[in-house]
Structure 1
């Protein structure tokens, strides 16, 4: 029996006006969007799916109804077997490489429609539109707003731009399938959609920054994170509440795959700043956000999530003088977290060295430094010493009380 991964072009044929559909790119947004097309969309099955890492495509296909999808192993084969090809990849370089590979297919330019859902610079979108239409195909930009959970539940907001004859072919897969609502820029340049997407994402980044600063102030002033969250939940339901909950629960420390990758958030910030520079506008708030995202990337690498802004070291350490009570274990835990260690009991020697280096930078803390290095806890004292106050976002609610603590050397 012929493999499901072969002879896609011969097997997949449109039925009347029902299009053959393919999807390229199965990140944490693409997977949910594919699921909804497979379950609710009207297309000539199977829905062809391609991902650079084939195992991810296989895993997704195994979770969907039999016969609804087919895994394809190359981009040209994906294009050959479809009338409408959706793409959703991480950045500008990835989409440019994808489209270049797609147009190598001998059948690519025969009236096929490419629909890009990636978040890229508007100039990149317009360049793709020119490249694709020059090859005899059609193009629609369709970036989306919403978190992975919204992609999974079909509650995204799609932004469509391009010729109205082509956006009309895409709309049946948007509202009621992938999205709860659409923003229609039909007959406007394709770059208008990604221009909105880039500007819109600055709202999201600034929202996380505002929530982070608010939670820090609530904790340090004694109001408490839970009390602030109750306010956010009442006044700002929706994304504000969702991100506020993520901040206070610290789930961004635990995920292997971030919900909103900090690398990609920085890419979006660069695009927004470039767009602003091109028209003489300023985005000072975004510059602050980007500096904090840089800290997140440095500490978490590929696992960095935009919500990690809450725990960025730039805002996590505060100094004070004249403290009278202390708890070394809490401080050691907090400083360890700053250096990417989330389990105090399993700190490695190099982590202790970082703790040492931190405390050694301040006068009057030599005794505390040595005690931290030994992993011992001195008794609290009322003697006045220079001390270090540490604020840190918790990895779990268990450590909520470690957020604001003071330590003195004995």
Structure 2
């Protein structure tokens, strides 16, 4: 593979997937496992289980799910209609041993590494007798993909696909996620048709190299995409803060955004900023935003390619989290966890305003 990776055109038979359908159908239904029921993972697993049961025969095995907080798994079983569609696994090892395709959606690099070490131990104790595909959909730093590949590929018939997802919870809820895939070609082909249209709407094929940072390969591509979103959030936070401070009101800046732009993260996150709706349990938690921004900043150093908006956003995310931590010590916090849109608190504080309560700011009186 050359240092320059070209994103191929979509396959004409399915314009959202860059592969033809697998030529040989499976003699028996694939057993699918899912680890990680966070704000995105929960919706992905729900949609996958629902779609799977609607297009396959009744004897198709239910989706096997595992989450460290068991109550989330139990909630999902009830939502989809019982154990005919979803079963709850007792461990990560059970997923690795029983399932043919294992999908993970996890919080950060440390958790991802820990889980894949567990998978590897399970495979060592029970070597696969048929192909297994591990699909890692989290946002991770590119070099970790190489480590995960080493953990999985040392076992017979085992393949890793890095498949980071693009999309917020409302996008995941509607099964409109976008996937960027790296890894074994045949495995990507099979996983693509498993995920689209059940969970998402489009797949980018970014080659077979799982860790080469200089190539447009999945983990790097995901961080580049997230940098665009984070940059948009930072610009929006600064514009709303300036509009508020100058006396125009944040609503004026947000109305202008809606006039100028027709898509993107502005609407969802802009509304949260405008209304101080920083509930991280219903969006993208601030710890995840800080993790992603940290990965992006590592990339800027690796490639001598500055991204000032990401630097500013990272700083404002840290400020927001520090303010929230102080509130928790005082018992005055409003939310169980913060959403990444709370980065506007950093811009507000820098402007001498209250970080989380825009109602304390003076407003223009219209005559």
Q: Is the 8 A contact 1:248 1:394 kept in 2?
A: no
CA shift, 1:395, in A, is 4.2
For residues 134-186 of structure 1, the C-alpha deviation after alignment (integer angstroms, 9 at most, x for no partner) is 12211111100110111121011111111211101101222211112222224
Paired with 1:74 and 1:394, the residues of 2 have a C-alpha distance of: 39
Q: What does 1:188-337 align with in structure 2 at a 5 Å threshold?
A: 188-189=209-210, 192-238=217-263, 239-252=265-278, 255=279, 257=281, 259-301=283-325, 303-312=337-346, 315-316=348-349, 318=351
Q: Which residue is 2:31 aligned to?
A: 20
Q: Is the 8 A contact 2:133 2:161 kept in 1?
A: yes
Q: Which residue is 2:149 aligned to?
A: 129
Distance 1:282 1:117, change over 3 A: same
Q: What does 1:137-176 align with in structure 2 at a 5 Å threshold?
A: 137-176=158-197
Paired with 1:394 and 1:262, the residues of 2 have a C-alpha distance of: 14
CA shift, 1:286, in A, is 1.5
Structure whose CA Rg is larger: 1
Distance 1:94 1:48, change over 3 A: same
Q: What does 1:9-88 align with in structure 2 at a 5 Å threshold?
A: 16-41=27-52, 44-66=60-82, 67-88=84-105
The residue matched to 1:303 in structure 2 has which SS?
coil
Paired with 2:28 and 2:252, the residues of 1 have a C-alpha distance of: 55
For residues 245-274 of structure 1, the C-alpha deviation after alignment (integer angstroms, 9 at most, x for no partner) is 11101111xx26251121121111111111
Paired with 1:262 and 1:108, the residues of 2 have a C-alpha distance of: 39
Give the alignment's TM-score, normalised by structure 1.
0.72
Paired with 1:218 and 1:59, the residues of 2 have a C-alpha distance of: 42
Q: Is the 8 A contact 2:280 2:340 kept in 1?
A: no
Paired with 1:199 and 1:170, the residues of 2 have a C-alpha distance of: 23
Distance 1:15 1:81, change over 3 A: farther
Q: Is the 8 A contact 1:258 1:304 kept in 2?
A: no
Distance 1:109 1:195, change over 3 A: farther
Q: Which residue is 1:117 aligned to?
A: 137
Paired with 2:198 and 2:27, the residues of 1 have a C-alpha distance of: 21
Q: Is the 8 A contact 2:37 2:73 kept in 1?
A: yes
CA shift, 1:298, in A, is 1.1
Q: Is the 8 A contact 1:296 1:305 kept in 2?
A: no
CA shift, 1:84, in A, is 0.3
Instruction: Show structure 2 runs of 5+ residues with no match.
Output: 1-24, 326-335
For these two proteins, the number of residue pairs brought into alignment is 315
Q: Is the 8 A contact 2:280 2:286 kept in 1?
A: no
CA shift, 1:224, in A, is 2.5
Q: What does 1:351-366 align with in structure 2 at a 5 Å threshold?
A: none
Q: Is the 8 A contact 1:146 1:155 kept in 2?
A: yes
The residue matched to 2:196 in structure 1 has which SS?
coil
For residues 366-409 of structure 1, the C-alpha deviation after alignment (integer angstroms, 9 at most, x for no partner) is xxxxxxxxxxxxxxxxxxxxxxxx5335647xx3xx3137xxxx
Q: Is the 8 A contact 2:32 2:100 kept in 1?
A: yes
CA shift, 1:50, in A, is 0.2
Q: What does 1:182-193 align with in structure 2 at a 5 Å threshold?
A: 182-189=203-210, 192-193=217-218
Q: Is the 8 A contact 2:62 2:87 kept in 1?
A: yes
Instruction: Show structure 1 runs of 5+ residues with no match.
Output: 1-13, 319-389, 406-410
Paired with 1:115 and 1:243, the residues of 2 have a C-alpha distance of: 28
Paired with 2:260 and 2:164, the residues of 1 have a C-alpha distance of: 28
Paired with 2:254 and 2:62, the residues of 1 have a C-alpha distance of: 45
Q: Which residue is 2:6 aligned to?
A: none
Paired with 1:291 and 1:193, the residues of 2 have a C-alpha distance of: 26
The residue matched to 1:251 in structure 2 has which SS?
coil
By relative contact order (CA 8 Å, sep 6+), the higher-ranking structure is 2
Paired with 2:350 and 2:46, the residues of 1 have a C-alpha distance of: 43
Is 1:403 the counterpart of 2:361? The answer is: yes
